[in-house]
Structure 1
Amino acid sequence: MQTTNTVLMVRPAAFMGNPETQASNTFQKRLVDIGDVQSKAQLAFDNYVQALRNVDIDVHIIDDIAEHDTPDSLFPNNWIAMLEDGTLYTFPMEAPNRRRERREDIIIQLDTDFVVNKRIDLSPHELEGRYLEGTGSLILDHDNYIAYSCRSSRSSNQVGKEFERLSGYRIVWFDAHDLNMQPIYHTNVMLSIGRRFAIVCLSALPSLHERGQLVESLKSTGKTIIDVSFEQMGSFTCNILELKDKVGNPVYAMSTRAWEAFTSAQQIEISSYARLALGPIDIIEDLGGGGARCMLCEVFLEKRMAYC
């Protein structure tokens, strides 16, 4: 099952540009004179939740805890992932303040509402300086048990091998860089895979050999490739997620900025296939360096009978 109707989101309580992630995340901007960042981020978050619910996406909201001092808490997909076989994974994070996002109370709540068959904790790799930041690092083609990952300080090959062994997914690795030849920190800012489309910035792969391997893998699994430019990638056109509404129709979740960055032809191709969940989240994208997809943690677990 490639897409789900259910997502987990964390409402921010201490949002700001995270100084511990700026070294590796070139998508983060340093803005000045922007007023009450926290209120703006919460408003953007709340409006985006409503945009998702307007297209019949089931959104589960957890409140961040301000005292934890976790500025990137609204990006939960980096520390937790839940797969259709009932496994709940927790992942090793590079930034020390992001490790505090892993909350046992969130896991307990998920286990209350959904059927968790197994928990696998990969976070001990942090002790050895190895990281793999969930579905930021891994773009999962669930139907074909393939994962795609660009090499970076946040995506360790060694942790990837353990994920392959435990999950049954095979990882396709490649190098990816931005327009200034800086390594891309998370795969999900340059690649999105849904049931029909693979939206990708192929120019980000400097190796023509690896680029060819990526294209071959995507095409062999039946994906239609929508290739975007560096400039479009910088507007988070790849940091989007295909979901499905309550009757199974496709929905694409993305920011207003991302949607407006697609060409007219690309917009027609996407909108003729799926409904859209759009919202302006510029403050989150600019300071956090992550977009709509980063805010959405997919829940593929079975709902418990008592849940309503």
Structure 2
Amino acid sequence: MSAQAPNAVILIRALRFTPNPATAADNAFQSDAPEGQSGDATSARALAEMDALAAALREAGVTVHVFEDEDHTRPDSVFPNNWLSTHAGGYVAVYPMYASNRRHERRSDVLELLKSRYRVQTIVDYSGLEADGIFLEGTGAMVLDHVSRVAYAARSHRMDAHVLERFCTDFSYEPMAFDAVDSDGVPAYHTNVIACVGTEIALFALEMIRDEQRREQVRERLTVNGRTLIEITEDQVREFAGNAVELHGRTPEGRKRSILAMSARARRSLTDEQVALIEESCEIVAVDIPTIELAGGSVRCMIAGIHLDRRPSAEPELTPAVEGIDEDPHTVDGRDVADES
């Protein structure tokens, strides 16, 4: 595991999926399901896309923990990175969510999995701030540079600057907040749709930061340590090119490799030159998820990275079985699901 790219992730296998009407007002990326398509059909297609992402990440050598969600009242539960983040040194953060129907996406069994399989020292829970009407939606609202310890954050309903400052104080990041808007003046609802920070590269729609001075400050901070900046356009942002995440995998022979996970739609929007720059340090793993993207998020939103040290397997008393969890790609809740999707 590198500081920036985790080698293990959490995915939520949501059995009932639909674009969330409670988030449509401020999410310009969100769309309705095709007219005439039933809810069951939408859910089935999304489920197949979730399983395809899990399979692609496992094939790339990434450890994938899958949790099932049967609750039909959690339409966005497939996006766990908004309520959870993990950090080196055994730290976990739990976040306050803007949409009231998203707040019960937070799951104690996910936290128990982390505590049982990984070394967790402290869980910092900011969710009580929801009662005060202030929000910080995790690594959706922030794009974290774990190497240089910078938290890039676009101001929106879902990113309160006071909570950002508090998070940065607690977790030792430098806050770098800015305004980012599209050509119609609509703010980016989440920072991770316009930016992806990797170890050696960053994809960033700097043109959406209209304040020239702030734009150049962000540019300088991204590149000061030699990182290659790949500027993406607003049109590419609308194709989810910014909603990517670097992960640490292994080849079948056991060699380490860096991958950049994104959707197939995002990959198609990149120019040949941009792809070449990415592939100097990362292998692109692209999965087609058009149904999930109707909800206004893409591959990055689906992944909660685990930046924690794994507990030694030689300590069975510290790694109890957790109901509902299995790293085997063919089982969830102990059932064989290889043919279900």
Give secondary structure in 1 for the equivalent of 2:147.
Answer: helix
1:64 paired with 2:81, answer no
Give secondary structure in 1 for the equivalent of 2:6.
Answer: coil
- The one-letter amino acid of 1:190's match is I
Where do 1:1-308 residues align within 5 Å? 1-31=3-33, 32-35=35-38, 36-67=41-72, 69-246=73-250, 247-286=255-294, 288-306=295-313
- The one-letter amino acid of 2:48's match is L
Counterparts of 2:20 and 2:192, CA distance in 1 = 19
Tell which deviates more after alignment, 271-280 or 3-12: 271-280
Unaligned stretches of 5+ residues in structure 2: 314-318, 320-326, 328-341
- The one-letter amino acid of 1:94's match is Y
Counterparts of 1:14 and 1:267, CA distance in 2 = 34
Shift of 1:105: 1.8
**Does the 8 A contact of 1:4 with 1:298 survive in 2?**
yes
Match of 2:316 in 1: none
Give secondary structure in 1 for the equivalent of 2:123.
Answer: strand
**Does the 8 A contact of 1:55 with 1:275 survive in 2?**
no
| TM norm structure 2 | 0.87
**Structure 1 residue runs of 4+, over 3 Å off?**
none
CA change 1:30–1:268 in 2 (3 A) is: same
Shift of 1:103: 1.1
Shift of 1:181: 1.4
Counterparts of 1:70 and 1:180, CA distance in 2 = 30
Shift of 1:65: 3.0
- The one-letter amino acid of 1:108's match is E
**Does the 8 A contact of 1:92 with 1:132 survive in 2?**
yes
May I ask how many residue pairs the two structures share in their alignment?
306
Tell which deviates more after alignment, 194-203 or 239-248: 239-248
Counterparts of 1:204 and 1:5, CA distance in 2 = 31
Render the CA deviation track for 1:263-285: whole Å, top value 9, x for unaligned: 01111222242222211001111
- Work out the percentage of aligned pairs sharing the same amino acid: 34
Report the aligned-residue RMSD: 1.3
Counterparts of 1:53 and 1:192, CA distance in 2 = 21
Q: Which has the greater radius of gyration?
A: 2
Give secondary structure in 2 for the equivalent of 1:93.
Answer: coil
- The one-letter amino acid of 2:56's match is A
Shift of 1:222: 2.2
**Does the 8 A contact of 1:55 with 1:276 survive in 2?**
no
Match of 2:339 in 1: none
- The one-letter amino acid of 1:115's match is R
- The one-letter amino acid of 1:242's match is E
Shift of 1:33: 2.7
Shift of 1:178: 1.9
Unaligned stretches of 5+ residues in structure 1: none
- The one-letter amino acid of 2:262's match is M
| TM norm structure 1 | 0.96
- The one-letter amino acid of 1:27's match is F
Counterparts of 1:290 and 1:237, CA distance in 2 = 11
Give secondary structure in 2 for the equivalent of 1:289.
Answer: coil
